[in-house]
Amino acid sequence: MNLAEEMEQLARRSREASHALAQLATAEKNAALLAMADALEAGIEPLQAANREDLQVGESLGLTKAMMDRLALDPKRIRAMAQGLRDVAALPDPVGRILDDRTRPNGLRLQKITVPLGVIVIIYESRPNVTADAASLCLKSGNATILRGGKEALNSNRWIARTMVEAGRRTLGERFPDAAIQVVPTPDRAAIPALLSLTQYVDLCMPRGGEGLIRAVTEASKVPVIKHFKGVCHIYVHAGADLNMAIEILDNAKTQRPSTCNAAETVLVDRDVADVFLPKMAARLASKNVELRADPAALALLSDPAVAYPASLVPATDSDYDNEYNDYILNVRVVEDLPHAMAHIRRHGSAHSDAIVTGDAQVARRFLAEVDSAAVYWNVSTRFTDGGEFGMGAEIGISTDKLHARGPMGLEELCSYKWIGVGTGQVRA
Amino acid sequence: MNLAEEMEQLARRSREASHALAQLATAEKNAALLAMADALEAGIEPLQAANREDLQVGESLGLTKAMMDRLALDPKRIRAMAQGLRDVAALPDPVGRILDDRTRPNGLRLQKITVPLGVIVIIYESRPNVTADAASLCLKSGNATILRGGKEALNSNRWIARTMVEAGRRTLGERFPDAAIQVVPTPDRAAIPALLSLTQYVDLCMPRGGEGLIRAVTEASKVPVIKHFKGVCHIYVHAGADLNMAIEILDNAKTQRPSTCNAAETVLVDRDVADVFLPKMAARLASKNVELRADPAALALLSDPAVAYPASLVPATDSDYDNEYNDYILNVRVVEDLPHAMAHIRRHGSAHSDAIVTGDAQVARRFLAEVDSAAVYWNVSTRFTDGGEFGMGAEIGISTDKLHARGPMGLEELCSYKWIGVGTGQVRA
C-alpha cells in the first residue's frame, strides 16, 4: 500500500467512524471522556516511557531547549491532560442544539439543529498534550479526529490516542468506533497533502503552529482550512484616554505573556498625548526590559535626556509593524488621530485583536465598528481573546478567518447544522 | 497591465469598497437598492440593446435554444429583476445583529455581532438576471461583489452592474463606492484562477452552475468556496407509509419542476409495500411520461402485465443512482428496510435533500437523525429546500458543504461576525 492509499484508508475509516460518533448520546460521550482521563492517569509510566523515546528522537534532531521542554511529559503534565478531559466532559454538549424553529404558513415545521462537522484533521507542532486536548474537543462535538503532530512526538501521540480509544471501547463497546481518534502513523511529510486532498472524507483541517506551517498547510489543502496566521495586535492610545489605564492595559497586553497570539506588538499613540504618555510608558516597560522600536516622532520623545529609555531603543522599520514578535519587543508609533490609527491597523494588522483606550464614547464606537478584526476592544487588554476568558470552557484555536468561525473556537464552532422538516404530506405548488 | 495585475487591481478595489459598504446604514442600502430598481426599469431599451449584442455572440457560439432563452432579456424579465431588488430592500438588514451578549465575572462585556464577509466573488453561467440578484443580496449584506458570468452575457452583465453602481452613486454620493459591484471585464478563462488566488482581498467564492463549473472553480481556488455540487435527492417510502401521501410527495418531488436541484432522482421502496406501491406509482408517473430506471425487484413488479408501464422502463445501472437527471427520469429501487435505505443514501446521495414517508414516528426520527444531508424531511416533498420556502426571503444559493452555511443561503449566511469587548480597564491576571 503506497502513501496515498494508506491516507485514503485512514480517512475513509474516520468518515465511517464519524457516522457512529454523531449518534452518541451526551452521557455516552462523557462516560468515554472520563474513562479516557482515568486511563491517561493510570498510564503515567508507559506514557513517560513512550515520551522518552520521543525525547531521544528530539535530541538527535537537535531540537532547542525550549522545544525539548514542550515535548517532555512529566506526571504533572499528564495529570493536567487528564483533568482537561474531565473539564471537557463537564461542558454542555454542542450537538443537537436547536438554532431555529419555524412553522411555515403551509404547516411545514423547520428546525435548524446542530450536528458534528464530521472528520477533522488537526496538524500541530511539538506539544503532545495537544493530542488529548484536540481529540477530546472533537469527540465531545461528535467528530472523528485525525491527528498529525510533530515527528518527534509520534510515540507519545500514538500512545495517547491508542489509550483514549481503548478506554472508549471499554466504556461503550462497539458503539465507540476504533477510528474515532487516529494519529497519522508516518512522519513522511507527503502524508499531509495526500490527506488534505481527500475532500470526500475530510470536512475540515485546522493547522496549529507557526505561520510557516499554516501557510504550507493552506497551500496544500483541498479541504476547507480554518486558520490563524498570526496575531499582530494593537493598542491605540487615543487623546481622550485615561493614560494610567492605558499604561496598565499596554503593560498587560505586551508583557503578561508575550509568547501568545493575543499579546500586543504595536502601540499607537495620538500625537496630542504622546509627550505625556511615552515617558510614563517608558518608565513602566523599562522595568521589564522591553525593546522599543519607534517611529521618528516616538524615537525623538523617547531619546530625550529626560526619558533616556534604559533598555534597547531602535528606529522601527516598516516591516517591523508586520511582525508578531512573541517577545519583549514593542513597536511604538505616533499617529495624528483615529483615522490614521485605523489606517495603520488595516495595513499592518492581522485581524486578530485590537484595542482602543479612550474616554470618548463616540470615538470608541467608531473604532469598534470600523476595525475589522475578530475581536475589538474598548478599554480592555487584547489578552482576553481566548476561549476560556470568553466563557467557552475550552478552545481548539483562534480563527482569523471570516468564514464559519471567527475568534476563539470552542465546542460550538466544531459543529455544522442541518435542517429538519416535518410535515403531513406537504407538496410544493 | 497583464491579467494577473488587472485581477489584483480589481480585487483590491473591491476590498477597499467593502470597508465603505460595511459602514452603510440600513436606510442607505435600501435607498440605493430602490434607486437601482428604478434605473433598471428606466433602462429597458438600452439594456435590451446590450442584450442583443450578447444574443449575437451566443448565436455565433452556437448556444442551444434553451441557453439562448436563458440569455435573452425582455421587458418582463427586466421588470422582474427590478422587483427582485425591491424585494431585497424590504428584507431585514442581516448586519449588526447581536448573536450573543455576555458579561464576564470581571465585568468585561462581550457582544458577538454580525458583520459583512467582505468581498464575494460569484461565478455563474448564462442568465444575466443573476447579476442583479446576486449583487443586490451582497449589497444588502454589506459586501462588495465581483461577478463573473458567461462570456456570452458580458454586455448585459456590464450594463446591469454599471447601472446599479450609477444609481447607488446618485443616491448616496461618495459614500457609495464605485467598486461595490464589479464585473470581471474579460472573458479570458485565466481570469478565474488569477482572481481566486487573491486570498488577501477575496473572502468567499460562490460558483453557481453545473457540476463541471463548480469542480473547476473549487480546484482552482485558494479562497474559500461554498458550493453545491449536485442534488441527488431521495424519497424513501417506508413500509409504514400512507401510500397515497407517498404518491403525492414523489410525484411533486419528481415532476413539479424536474430541472431543480431539490427534485427527486431516486425513490426507495420497502419490499413489504413494493407490490402495492409500485403499480400505483406507475399509474401516476406514466401520465407524466417519466422514464423509470429500476433495480431487478422493481423491474419485475413494473414489467408485470397487470402494470405494463407504458412509458420507458429500463434496468438501472449502479451509476444511475449517482445521477442528477434534471429531467423526467426516476431511479426505482426496492430496499429491505430503513438501514438499507440509509446505506443507499449515504453511498449515492449528495447530502442535499432527502425525505422519508412513514406513519412510524420512531422510524422517522431515526431517519432524520442519521441521514446527514442539508435538509431531511418527514412526510414532505424535497422541493421545499429553497430560501423562499424556508422564509429567508431570498436565496443566493444552496450549500451542500458543512462549513459556514448548509442548505439554503440567504442574507444571514452572507455575514461573518466579530466580538466586541467593552470594559473599564480590565487586564488579564
The minimum CA-CA distance between B46 and chain A, rounded to whole Å, is 36
DSSP A279-321: HHHHHHHHTTT-EEEE-HHHHHHHHSTTT---S-EEEPPGGGG
Inform me whether the C-beta atom of residue A248 falls under 8 Å from chain B C-beta atoms. yes
From the DSSP assignment, how many helices (H) and strands (E) are in chain B? 14, 16
Cα B222–chain centre separation = 21
Inform me whether the C-beta atom of residue B348 falls under 8 Å from chain A C-beta atoms. no
What residue segments make up the domains of chain A, in order of their start? 3-227+407-422, 233-384
Q: Pull the grid cell for residue A260.
A: 501568545
Spatial neighbors of A351 by CB under 8 A, at least 6 apart, are A372, A373, A374, A400
* Fold adopted by B3-227+407-422: Aldehyde Dehydrogenase; Chain A, domain 1 (3.40.605)
For B409, the 3-state DSSP assignment is strand
Q: Quick one: which H or E segment has residue B302?
A: helix B296-303
The minimum CA-CA distance between B10 and chain A, rounded to whole Å, is 18
Q: Are A384 and B428 in contact (CB under 8 A)?
A: yes
Asked if B377's CB is within 8 angstroms of A423's CB, the reply is: yes
Q: Which of B392, B403, B412 to mutate to test the interface with A (most CBs of A within 10 A)?
A: B403
Determine the pLDDT at residue B148.
96
Determine the pLDDT at residue A229.
81
List of chain B residues with pLDDT < 70: none
Which residue's C-alpha cell is 442583479? Answer: B132
Determine the pLDDT at residue A125.
85
Asked if A425's CB is within 8 angstroms of B248's CB, the reply is: yes
Inform me whether the C-beta atom of residue A259 falls under 8 Å from chain B C-beta atoms. no
In chain B, which residue's Cα lies nearest the Cα of A400?
B418
Among B218, B416, B421, select the one facing A375 at the smallest CB separation.
Answer: B421
CA–CA distance from B296 to each of A185, B99, B306, B339, B372 (Å)? 44, 52, 17, 20, 28
Cβ burial A27-57 (10 Å sphere, 16+ → b, else e) = ebbbbbbbbbbebbbebbeebbebbeebbeb
Q: Pull the grid cell for residue B341.
A: 435505505
3-state DSSP of B125-164? CCCCHHHHHHHHHHHHCCCEEEEECCHHHHHHHHHHHHHH
Determine the pLDDT at residue B297.
98
Spatial neighbors of A270 by CB under 8 A, at least 6 apart, are A237, A238, A239, A241, A334, A335, A336, A337, A341
Inform me whether the C-beta atom of residue B385 falls under 8 Å from chain A C-beta atoms. yes
ipTM: 0.95
Q: Which chain A positions have a beta carbon within 8 Å of B377's beta carbon?
A: 420-423
Determine the pLDDT at residue B143.
98
Q: What is the pLDDT of residues B257-278, one digit of tens each?
A: 999 999 999 999 999 999 999 9
In chain A, which residue's Cα lies nearest the Cα of B245?
A425
Determine the pLDDT at residue A255.
97
pLDDT at residue A126 greater than cutoff 80 = no
Determine the pLDDT at residue B356.
98
Determine the pLDDT at residue A16.
97
Phi-psi map region of A404: left, alpha, beta (phi>0 left; psi -120 to 50 alpha): left
- pLDDT grade, residue A139 (50/70/90)? very high
Q: Which chain A positions have a beta carbon within 8 Å of B423's beta carbon?
A: 377-380
The minimum CA-CA distance between A297 and chain B, rounded to whole Å, is 27
Inform me whether the C-beta atom of residue A271 falls under 8 Å from chain B C-beta atoms. no
Asked if A370's CB is within 8 angstroms of B19's CB, the reply is: yes
Write out residues 305-344 of B within 8 Å (CB-CB) of A. Answer: none
Write out residues 156-175 of A within 8 Å (CB-CB) of B. Answer: none
Superfamily of domain A233-384: Aldehyde Dehydrogenase; Chain A, domain 2 (3.40.309.10)
Q: What's the whole-number average pLDDT of chain A?
A: 96
Q: Where are the beta strands (DSSP E) in A14-104?
A: 98-103
For A371, the 3-state DSSP assignment is coil
The minimum CA-CA distance between B401 and chain A, rounded to whole Å, is 9
Q: Are A294 and A267 in contact (CB under 8 A)?
A: no
CA atoms of B15 and B283, how far apart (whole Å): 57
CA atoms of B196 and B202, how far apart (whole Å): 7
Inform me whether the C-beta atom of residue A368 falls under 8 Å from chain B C-beta atoms. yes
Spatial neighbors of A214 by CB under 8 A, at least 6 apart, are A207, A227, A228, A229
Inform me whether the C-beta atom of residue B130 falls under 8 Å from chain A C-beta atoms. no
pLDDT at residue A14 greater than cutoff 90 = yes
In chain A, which residue's Cα lies nearest the Cα of B403?
A404
Q: Which of B121, B226, B422 to mutate to test the interface with A (most CBs of A within 10 A)?
A: B422
Q: Where are the beta strands (DSSP E) in B39-152?
A: 98-103, 109-116, 119-124, 144-148
Same fold, A3-227+407-422 and A233-384: no
- pLDDT grade, residue A393 (50/70/90)? confident
CA–CA distance from B119 to each of A369, B88, B198 (Å)? 18, 19, 11
Asked if B22's CB is within 8 angstroms of A379's CB, the reply is: no
Asked if B23's CB is within 8 angstroms of A369's CB, the reply is: yes
Q: How many CB pairs below 8 A link A and B?
A: 193
CA–CA distance from B320 to each of A285, A410, B131, B332, B344 (Å)? 71, 41, 34, 10, 12
Q: Which chain A positions have a beta carbon within 8 Å of B402's beta carbon?
A: 117-118, 203, 416
Inform me whether the C-beta atom of residue A379 falls under 8 Å from chain B C-beta atoms. yes
Bridge partner residues of A205 (DSSP): A121, A225
Inform me whether the C-beta atom of residue B347 falls under 8 Å from chain A C-beta atoms. no
Q: Which chain A positions have a beta carbon within 8 Å of B118's beta carbon?
A: 372, 402
Phi-psi map region of A241: left, alpha, beta (phi>0 left; psi -120 to 50 alpha): beta
Which residue intervals of A152-229 are DSSP H helices?
Answer: 154-172, 191-195, 211-220
- pLDDT grade, residue A171 (50/70/90)? very high
A284 closest CA partner among A238, A322, A332: A332
Q: Which chain B positions have a beta carbon within 8 Å of A379's beta carbon?
A: 422-426
Q: Pull the grid cell for residue B102.
A: 455576555
Q: Quick one: which H or E segment has residue B408?
A: strand B407-409
CA atoms of B85 and B137, how far apart (whole Å): 8
Inform me whether the C-beta atom of residue B102 falls under 8 Å from chain A C-beta atoms. yes
Among A23, A249, A407, select the one facing B419 at the smallest CB separation.
Answer: A407
Q: Are A386 and B340 in contact (CB under 8 A)?
A: no
Q: What is the pLDDT of residues A234-258, one digit of tens each?
A: 999 999 999 999 999 999 999 999 9
Half-sphere CA count of B321, side-chain side, radius 13 A: 20
Q: Are A93 and A140 in contact (CB under 8 A)?
A: yes
